[in-house]
């Protein structure tokens, strides 16, 4: 999967960079009130536009895609929680390399998403822009010269663009400075969400930071602002990590090694606990307390141990106890011979 295996810059702190563009087709009602026949027509237009450019993709019809398959797509950051709840008349085009997904008839007719590993906001924007241009050659967008792109939610009117980074901030959290940093981020016109976006929990010291304003700012300004703020957060997190190892070396090393012991030897592991332990392991690798474990392996563990990703590999339904056992086994196998 694209962002998991992408060795992007600053990936010890920035897990991924994502850009999402919201678009609607002119003279077709928004998804909240669209008729099924019109919704199917939207899907047909988008699929044909993409096929015309010889793009390699898989199409997932939300009507025929199982609940577990939808959950896997969500856990892999390829669709949104809102699209996961949809059925007939909605779908997603996902590129073979999993860097691009086009959600169809979610909140808007079209949600173009590009995602890459590390701090690569500009790269994500440039790729999203290419796909946007490709689609616009084949469909007519709902656009107003004064307001910009028209969207279902007023907060997306204008550029229709949300750029975000997934940041790992254990240093700031452990040192007690995280709230101060997050308050500053909000004052700068950005917003903070959980691991899977709006309405989801913040776990494992992972925060999704994105622009809040889409009207009155150009795409370039959004990219530059988020990149500048993210670079400042990176510096603050580096300072916090350095101070932790200087002022509380034994305590931090003890925390990291205890987590390492659990990850390597546990026979049962809950999903929430796994994410917390991964946070400690990532910190330990960066501080050189632990061996140089490839971050790609830790990213794989983070995704492959999610409940639906475990369930999809088996033909029979697994209960929570079964998943906890399998999760621990996956982790042990991934970390074997890492010392």
Q: What is the pLDDT of residues 94-124, one digit of tens each?
A: 999 999 999 999 999 999 999 999 999 999 9
In this predicted model, what pLDDT tens digit does every residue of 119-171 receive, in sequence order? 999 999 999 999 999 999 989 999 999 899 999 988 888 999 999 999 999 99
State percent of the chain over pLDDT 90. Answer: 77
Between CA 92 and CA 72 the distance in angstroms is: 13
Mean pLDDT taken over the chain: 92
Name residue, tokens 């240093």.
171
| pLDDT given for residue 231 in this prediction | 95
CB-based burial label for 144 (10 Å; 0-12, 13-18, 19+): exposed
Token pair for residue 6? 């992408």
Checking if the pLDDT of 59 tops 70, the result is yes
Smallest CA-to-CA distance from 84 within 200, 166, 180, 162 is with: 200
Q: Work out the average pLDDT over 301-308.
A: 94
- pTM score: 0.91
Checking if the pLDDT of 89 tops 90, the result is yes
pLDDT band at 201 (very low <50, low <70, confident <90, very high): low
Q: Are 328 and 91 in contact (CB under 8 A)?
A: no
| pLDDT given for residue 195 in this prediction | 67
Smallest CA-to-CA distance from 27 within 162, 117, 150 is with: 150
pLDDT band at 236 (very low <50, low <70, confident <90, very high): very high
State percent of the chain over pLDDT 70. Answer: 96
- How many H helices and E strands in the chain? 13, 10
Q: Work out the average pLDDT over 5-17.
A: 90
Cβ neighbours of residue 127 closer than 8 Å, sequence gap 6 or more? 19, 99, 100, 114
| pLDDT given for residue 199 in this prediction | 56
Checking if the pLDDT of 289 tops 70, the result is yes
The SS3 assignment for 307 reads helix
Domains, the chain, with CATH or none: 2-238 (3.30.590.10), 249-335 (no CATH)
């Amino acid at each position: 999967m694209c962002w998991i295996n992408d060795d992007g810059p600053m990936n010890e702190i920035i897990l991924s960079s994502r850009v999402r563009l919201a678009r609607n087709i002119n003279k077709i009602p928004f998804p909240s009130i669209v008729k099924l026949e019109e919704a199917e027509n939207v899907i047909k237009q988008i699929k044909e536009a993409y096929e015309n450019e010889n793009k390699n993709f898989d199409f997932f019809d939300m009507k025929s895609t199982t609940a577990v398959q939808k959950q896997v797509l969500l856990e892999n950051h390829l669709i949104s929680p809102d699209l996961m709840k949809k059925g007939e008349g909605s779908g997603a085009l996902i590129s073979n390399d999993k860097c691009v997904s086009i959600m169809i008839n979610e909140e808007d007719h079209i949600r173009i998403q590009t995602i890459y590993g590390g701090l690569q906001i500009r790269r994500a924007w440039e790729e999203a822009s290419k796909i946007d241009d490709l689609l616009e050659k084949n469909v007519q967008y709902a656009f107003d010269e004064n307001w910009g792109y028209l969207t279902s939610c007023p907060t997306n009117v204008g550029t229709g663009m949300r750029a975000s980074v997934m940041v790992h901030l254990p240093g700031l959290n452990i040192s007690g400075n995280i709230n101060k940093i997050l308050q500053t981020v909000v004052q700068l016109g950005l917003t903070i969400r959980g691991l899977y976006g709006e309405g989801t929990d913040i776990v494992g010291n992972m925060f999704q930071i994105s622009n809040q304003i889409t009207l009155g700012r150009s795409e370039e300004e959004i990219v530059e602002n988020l990149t500048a703020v993210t670079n400042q957060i990176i510096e603050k997190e580096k300072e916090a990590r350095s101070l932790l190892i200087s002022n509380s070396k034994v305590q931090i090393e003890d925390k990291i090694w205890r987590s390492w012991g659990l990850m390597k030897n546990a026979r049962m592991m809950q999903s929430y606990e796994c994410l917390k332990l991964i946070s400690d392991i990532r910190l330990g690798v960066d501080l050189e307390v632990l061996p140089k474990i490839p971050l790609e392996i830790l990213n794989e563990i983070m995704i492959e141990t999610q409940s639906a990703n475990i369930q999809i590999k088996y033909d029979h339904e697994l209960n929570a106890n079964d998943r906890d056992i399998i999760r621990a086994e996956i982790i042990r196998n991934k970390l074997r011979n890492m010392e």
